[in-house]
Amino acid sequence: MVRKETLAQLLDEGRRKIQVTDEELAEAKRRRQLLAASARRAFPGSTTYYNGSVAHGDANTPLTDVDLGVVLTQKDAEPYGPGKKSALDLMEKVREVIHEDLDDEFDKLTIEVEGRRRAVLVRFGDPVTQGQADFTADVMTALPHPSGRGLYIPNTKIADQWDRADPITHTRMVLQAIEDTKVVFARTVRLLKHWNCTHSKPMCSWNIKALCLDCLDEPMPLINALQVFFTYAADEIDKGPTPDPAGVAGPIPLNMPRADVHKRLCTARDYIDLAIEHEKAGRPLSAQHALHQVLPELVPDADGTQEEAGRLAQTVLAGGTAASGLGLATRLITPTRPRAWGD
């Protein structure tokens, strides 16, 4: 007999498949702390901050990297900034101290500065997740912004050499959202990041989180959170690029033309709507098949052919036509239909 699961069960099982393990997280945080200590030693009086998926509580397995930054004191930052010195010698200083502190433990450690746009890239030569090639860290050297809002962070690809951003506020906003939604925010982001990776990465993870910050502000079932996100994100991306939630940096760039991103979001939205509609009508296999199109590696496919035949028969008996009812359902239910790319 075919096992029939609710959408809630399918999503809970799916998100557990990609949730980072306690062991991975503990080791990643340990290495992050080592790097933070080195960064503070490189710049006495400085402060450090954490950002990225580990800091935001939405890391997936395999865990391959962490992000952190060091903020110089006002005095030490004085020679640097737009129209002044670039971050290159700061990055070299961090590289030097990290090597001094960590080479004994990590004998394959390498650190890249040349060609790096924003941060020093630390390659440990030793993965956190078994089977992965390596584990890396981005260590950013930042300056306090004169306004008191946000930071100047390196950008070696532009003439000014520095960009304005506020990663500290970003992390605070994400952690508050996780608390406000009773962890639904983080679990939804994990699923959305997986959707993003299996559908050509139309947007960066931060764009996903920025959109979530605007539409997920209370506890709700995961399927409803996905529905809210895709509906909101499709509308917002159709209008234009996503603004910085902290109101400091510029709009968040997309990874492909906006029309293509919008198309993928709309297709995912339609499949989520269809999955919910099928479940409400008592067609669990059809609901699972629709959800599979959005999260193909997390939700197993299911054959809803008999359920669809039953729906069509009931429609005809009720005086309708076989084509009436769910509108796009017949097209979307086809087992050979491509996953939610919108192609």
**Percent of the chain whose predicted confidence (pLDDT) is above 70:** 92
Question: What is the C-alpha separation between 316 and 310, in angstroms, rounded?
Answer: 10
In the 8-state DSSP scheme, what is residue 249? S
Of the candidates 145, 144, 166, 142, the residue with the CA atom closest to the CA atom of residue 154: 142
Largest CA distance in the chain: 81
Q: How confident is the model at residue 304 (pLDDT cuts 50, 70, 90)?
A: confident
How do residues 56-115 score in pLDDT, each as one tens digit? 999 999 999 999 999 999 999 999 999 999 999 999 999 999 999 999 999 999 999 999
Question: What is the C-alpha separation between 54 and 325, in angstroms, rounded?
Answer: 45
CB 158 within 8 A of CB 142: no
pLDDT at residue 4, rounded to an integer = 85
| Strand, coil or helix: 68 | strand
Burial of 28 from C-beta contacts in 10 A (0-12 / 13-18 / 19+): buried
Report the 10 Å Cβ neighbour count for 272.
26
| Strand, coil or helix: 60 | strand
CA-to-CA dists, residue 258 to 125, 239, 264, angstroms: 37, 9, 10
CA-to-CA dists, residue 102 to 34, 38, 41, 96, 111, angstroms: 8, 9, 13, 10, 11
CB 200 within 8 A of CB 192: no
pLDDT at residue 334, rounded to an integer = 38
Report the 10 Å Cβ neighbour count for 218.
12
Does pLDDT of 24 surpass 60? yes
How do residues 239-282 score in pLDDT, each as one tens digit? 999 999 999 999 999 999 999 999 999 999 999 999 999 999 99
**Percent of the chain whose predicted confidence (pLDDT) is above 90:** 87
* Structural domains of the chain, with CATH: 20-165 (3.30.460.90), 182-343 (no CATH)
Q: How confident is the model at residue 321 (pLDDT cuts 50, 70, 90)?
A: low
